């Protein structure tokens, strides 16, 4: 269950990508909301809340993968279950972003499914090495 070196490295890489992508969601929130043009204050607040919530969720997934890798590694079957649940959550985020953002012209929205799917793949591969 997990190569001694490669498995953890894949988890650390996936963690860094997902945390970075989560932070990249949070930092430009105001600019993203401004780009929507004239919307009601409630719509603006909901968009800010949702944009930041996704960034926080992604950051949590990345951080939990990182911390669990440090604390338990890949030999613990419960840790492997959590890694795979994290990967599944990333796939759900990727699928939703693909379906909801397919017709947008925003490059980060178009890249998001690939980035999250790649991170999920790294995590799954780490658990089966």
What does pLDDT average to in each consecutive run of 10 residues of the chain (129 residues)? 83 98 94 89 93 96 98 96 98 95 85 97 96
How many residues can be counted in the chain? 129
In whole angstroms, what is the distance from residue 113 CA to residue 128 CA?
A: 23
Tell me what pLDDT residue 85 has.
98
Count how many domains the chain has. 1
Within 10 Å of residue 79's Cβ, how many Cβ atoms?
Answer: 20
Q: Buried b / exposed e across 97-127, counting CB within 10 Å, b at 16+?
A: bbeeeeeeeeeebeebbebbbbbbebbbbbb
Q: Is residue 34 part of a domain?
A: yes
Tell me what pLDDT residue 3 has.
65
Tell me what pLDDT residue 51 has.
92
Q: Is residue 11 part of a domain?
A: yes
Q: Is residue 23 part of a domain?
A: yes
CA angle 77, 122, 29 (to 5 degrees): 110
Tell me what pLDDT residue 1 has.
52
Within 10 Å of residue 16's Cβ, how many Cβ atoms?
Answer: 14
Q: Which residue range is the domain that position 69 belongs to?
A: 6-128
Q: Is residue 28 part of a domain?
A: yes
Q: Is residue 1 part of a domain?
A: no
Q: Is residue 73 part of a domain?
A: yes
What phi and psi, each to the nearest 5 degrees, are found at residue 78?
Answer: -70, -40
Global confidence as pTM: 0.92
Q: Is residue 106 part of a domain?
A: yes
Q: Is residue 67 part of a domain?
A: yes
């Amino acid at each position: 269950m997990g190569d001694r070196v490669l498995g953890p490295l894949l988890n650390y890489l996936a963690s860094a990508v997902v945390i970075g992508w989560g932070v990249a969601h949070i930092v430009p929130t105001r600019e993203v909301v401004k780009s929507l043009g004239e919307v009601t204050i409630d719509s603006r607040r909901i968009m800010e809340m949702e944009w930041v919530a996704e960034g926080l969720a992604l950051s949590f997934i990345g951080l939990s993968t990182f911390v669990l890798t440090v604390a338990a590694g890949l030999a613990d079957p419960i840790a492997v279950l959590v890694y795979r649940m994290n990967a599944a959550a990333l796939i759900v985020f990727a699928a939703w972003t693909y379906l909801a953002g397919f017709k947008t012209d925003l490059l980060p929205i178009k890249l998001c499914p690939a980035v999250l799917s790649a991170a999920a793949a790294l995590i799954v591969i780490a658990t089966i090495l």
